[in-house]
Amino acid sequence: MYKVLIADKLSEEAVKIFKDNDIETVVKTGLSESDLIKELETCDGLVVRSATKPNKKIIEQSKRLKVIGRAGIGVDNIDLEAATNNGKVVMNTPFGNSITTAEHAITLLLSTARQIPYADKTSHEGKWEKSSIKGVEVTGKILGVIGCGNIGSIVVDRALGLKFKVIVFDPFLQNEKAKEMGIEKVELEELFKRSDFITIHTPLTDKTKNIINKDAFKIMKKGVRIVNCARGGLVNEVELKENLESGHVASAALDVFVDEPPKNSPLIGTKNLIMTPHLGASTTEAQEKVALQVAEQISDYLKTGAITNAVNTFSLTASEHNMVQPYLKLSEQLGGFAGQLTENAIKKIAVEFEGAVSKINTQPLIQTIICSLLKKNFDGVNVINSVAIAKAKSIQVTEIKHEKAGEYQSSVTLTIETEKQTRSVSGTLFGGKPRIVNVKGIKIEAELSKYNLYISNEDKPGFISDLSKILSDNKINIATFNLGRKNSGGEAIALISTDDEINDKVIDQIKKIPLVIQVKPLTFNES
């Protein structure tokens, strides 16, 4: 039975979903680092919100852990690099709180325009400051939106309804889509220069950290109003305070902070600043949505292998998983085959899909191929981090698809370019089982087993008899013997499966056969 730890407060309905899927749940919140590590010793899944922070130490020591689910969109509290390196899938729920957060941003925009919190406070104090509290209309004002993803696009829609003129900075937003939405796509500097209001809806990354800083403030309009409901650290808090106090920024509203709660923040007590305690996702509807969603996603992954809303690997629906599954073993064998034969630094990897296999989700296959290819030479390679490791090693990865079937209904070809040579190996499925069908342009049909022998040789009489004698003399039983050649008398290949592992002594004997070019024992998992 699978087991999941719920480490932050979550709806009871989420617990029910796990139980309905026969997944044991443990609900323990507020755990220390050491207690969390201890609990995770027996857990396959971990559910968190923003309070629990699965760091590198926690992730590395949680050997059984397979998946971390964040009930919400932000994953800043999870060490993604450590999760990826250790083969843990990290999922979030990007849509469950999108409307809620967008509505909060709109609320804060309007509040900055009309000084609502100050007006409320002073009225409760018995003051009547009607003449001194002056706001601005939003109709016709320019709203600059930084980031036009799930939340940003909803903000845009609502803002257009309020008659804002909307400009957007988002490198990933296509011009055609911007026109369709009725907005203008601009560069960041232009957004800063033109905007009367600015709202931020982007993740916190190295590129976006302090995206609003002293240089940005310098080119903004005097009297600009700023809202951040995305992530703390996107706005430099010290420099925001300076610009609020000088009057360059008329008003600002923050729902997120560098440190939460912001007890020691320089912003505390700043005039014309609205502060809310990270309420973006805090509605009854949103809390319920993300809780149910994360429970369903983790249950699906543990029970069926489906991967939904993963932030550090491919996503794969249950139906896609069923289609992909037969090819995963083939991908593992192709990568392992090439990896065990490759002795030089790899420069390029090309994976070519032909026929029916080209029409399915091939990303899991690519990651499996690269994992099997690299794990012989690099420590810590897994299916999740394989592509990232390849890129880190400056290995170029290319995917090619041909929907039209060739010689086989489906085939996968892996081509490796090293500093000294280019090598290719192709495979297909026969009766649902993987089979090698081409090596270096030489046709051969071979089903691989746990123990195999790869031999490249000259196609001349005497080779088979010499090889058979060596194997016989060493009591090695041949399970299958497959041959292929380019042409008569040219280069030939033998792929032999044996019942037992072939030791180095026997390999040395085979190498001494005059016609032999290369000999390599190949081993594969039988599961």
pLDDT tens string 356-377: 999 999 999 999 999 999 987 7
* The token pair that represents 225 in the structure block: 């109003």
Task: Look up 114 and say whether it is catalytic.
Answer: no
| pLDDT score for 427 | 96
Percent of the chain, pLDDT > 90? Answer: 64
Segment 140-144 mean pLDDT: 97
Contact of 489 with 460, CB cutoff 8 Å: yes
Sign of CA dihedral 370, 371, 376, 377: positive
Task: Look up 41 and say whether it is catalytic.
Answer: no
Q: What DSSP letter does each residue of 106-129 carry, written as one string?
A: HHHHHHHHHTHHHHHHHHHTT---
Segment 275-297 mean pLDDT: 86
Distances (CA, A) of 68 to 90, 301, 306: 5, 11, 14
Alpha-carbon distance 99 to 46, whole Å?
26
Closest by alpha carbon to 339, among 446, 416, 284, 263?
416
Reported as a pLDDT band with limits 50, 70 and 90, residue 527 is low
Task: Look up 403 and say whether it is catalytic.
Answer: no
Residue 149 pLDDT exceeds 90: no
Which tens digit of pLDDT belongs to each residue from 32-60?
999 999 999 999 999 998 899 999 999 99
Catalytic residue among 49, 225, 231, 435: 231
Alpha-carbon distance 169 to 152, whole Å?
10
Number of residues assigned to the chain: 527
pTM higher than 0.95 for the full model? no
Same fold: 98-275 with 316-440 = no
Q: What CATH number does domain 98-275 carry, 1.10.1740.10, 3.20.20.80, 3.60.15.10, 3.40.50.720?
A: 3.40.50.720
- Provide the CATH topology of domain 316-440: 60s Ribosomal Protein L30; Chain: A; (3.30.1330)
Catalytic residue among 278, 320, 321, 332: 278
| pLDDT score for 420 | 82
Segment 116-127 mean pLDDT: 85
**434 - beta bridge partners?**
429
Contact of 146 with 199, CB cutoff 8 Å: yes
Whether the bond into 261 is cis, omega within 30 of 0 = yes
| pLDDT score for 20 | 94
Alpha-carbon distance 234 to 40, whole Å?
33
Query: For the ranges 76-85, 118-127, 408-417, 459-468, which has the lowest average pLDDT?
Result: 118-127
Catalytic residue among 81, 137, 187, 260: 260
Structural domain spans, the chain:
3-96+285-304, 98-275, 316-440, 449-527
| pLDDT score for 446 | 92
Closest by alpha carbon to 252, among 161, 156, 265, 261?
265
Q: What CATH number does domain 449-527 carry, 3.40.190.290, 1.10.1060.10, 3.30.390.10, 3.30.70.260?
A: 3.30.70.260
Closest by alpha carbon to 435, among 455, 415, 409?
409
Contact of 365 with 334, CB cutoff 8 Å: no
Residue 379 pLDDT exceeds 70: no
Quickly count: other Cβ atoms within 10 Å of residue 348's Cβ: 13
Alpha-carbon distance 524 to 527, whole Å?
9
* The token pair that represents 134 in the structure block: 């002056």
For 3-96+285-304, CATH gives 3.40.50.720
* The token pair that represents 242 in the structure block: 């300076």
